[in-house]
Structure 1
Amino acid sequence: MAEGGDERFDGVLLNIAQQAGSIDSILDSFFGFLQRKTDFFTGGQDEQAAEEKVLKYYKKHWKMGQKRRQEQQERNRVADEERKRKADEKKKKDEEEYRKRMEEAEKSKANVPKIEEVTEEEASQIKADKAKKSNDEEGGEDKEAEEKEDKEPPPPGNGGKTEKYTWTQTLGALEVFVHVPPGSKAKQIICDIGGDTLKLGVKGQPLILDGKMHSKVKPDDCMWTLVDNKIVQITLEKFDNMKWWSCVMEGDAGIDTKKIVPENSKLSDLDGETRMTVEKMMYDQRQKALGKPTSDQEKQHDLLEKFKAAHPELDFSKAKINYGGGGGGGFNM
């Protein structure tokens, strides 16, 4: 026999509980049964003895219930501490990665050649020296440049990467992934997408992106979202959907659009973090198009199912569950 009591009648009792619908109705039905079909109330003269018998078994199962409750609370506490530990570790890792990224960006700025003033005579001499050197090496350099260009692989995802963002593209749209300080909230993000301009940053900090884009977009069809509180994903719909972009922002390092292979927009070309983000986005878009739940809604549904399994005494048959997120489908309760 199990610690909680005899389980042989659980099926029958569970059926009664489901039909009764509430604890009050269950107890009323049970004591009504004792009154109608047994001599529990009519066989004895001492009311206190009957009460003591009821309380004896009530207290027995009360103690067992409290023990189970304490054990569950302890399991929840341990699980919460583990989740907090993992969240802290992830936050530290994200902050360290962001710090290194910012340091690399600063080093890149420091390595930019400085402009020095020279006299007209010095400038003329420099031009003459360059022209002479260029004529001497022109033939060999052109040949090497052509060979190097031919050997370069197509750009990953038909896009590129700068110290501020990673981007991919198709003929019709771009996906731009910009790193922001870990722990950022959506309400802190500034994202202004114009016809040919883009501003992005975090409130209280200098803008990360601020300038003119390579070409025009359709602002009403563009959108952005915050992923894992550390990456802003911007979707840009091109105004001219038959044109490849060599860069996202004017002045940034560009790619050779002649190297682009239309079929080359493969997830395997992206780094792990960007690939996971793109895969999740593509899955959610497919689910929404089919009227099905997104990945976040599926996670919430799984958590609810686990909770229902752990609490069979609760009735969810008439519950209306809103998983949020918008755009996805629902689940049958």
Structure 2
Amino acid sequence: MTKKEDQFDGMLLALAQQHEGGVKDLLDTFFSFLARKTDFYTGGGEGAAEQLVMSKFKKHEANALAKAASDKIEKIEQEKRRKERLEKKRKEEQAEEEKINNDSRITELTEEEAVKLQEEIDKRSVKDAAVAGPSSDHNELSKDVEDENVDSKDGNVDDEDEEDEKEKNKLKPNSGNGADMPNYRWTQTLGDLDVSGYSYFPLSL
């Protein structure tokens, strides 16, 4: 539609809104206007007015029918695209659901497949053990050494405690390599032993 054709749309729309009978009343007003204010019916000879009205009617009827057909086709295409999108989404959801079901489904292996799987597990276990082995052995060795050191230290402590208990009950020697008793004292050399108390007397060893 060109600018010339639609420049009066606002005015004509306002005019149409004032007719309660719709298009029928609007046409009645329009042809009444042509009859009262123009020579539309008499100026072109007999039948000229009707021929002119029908030609314009056919022209705009064809345009209206073509537009209606185009709108109908477009509506059908839109509905078709909408259904295709829904169908595609449904298939994707169905495929995703089937994938989840397949992943969670327990599959029974054939004997050959089971043997192959076990071999792969064994190889992986050996590989993991080879990687973790040296470190593990080293840790065990270090732990054993630490335990031995602790035991050794504990043993030394126990021996020292035991020696301290024994030393508590022993008399400490005096300057003469003997002992000071309550009633006497004694000293010794390599050859003689001297005892001194209330009385002194030499002892020969």
TM-score bracket for the superposition, by shorter chain length:
0.3 to 0.5
TM-score by length of 2: 0.45
TM-score by length of 1: 0.29
* Higher strand proportion (structure 1 or 2): 1
Greater Rg by CA: 2
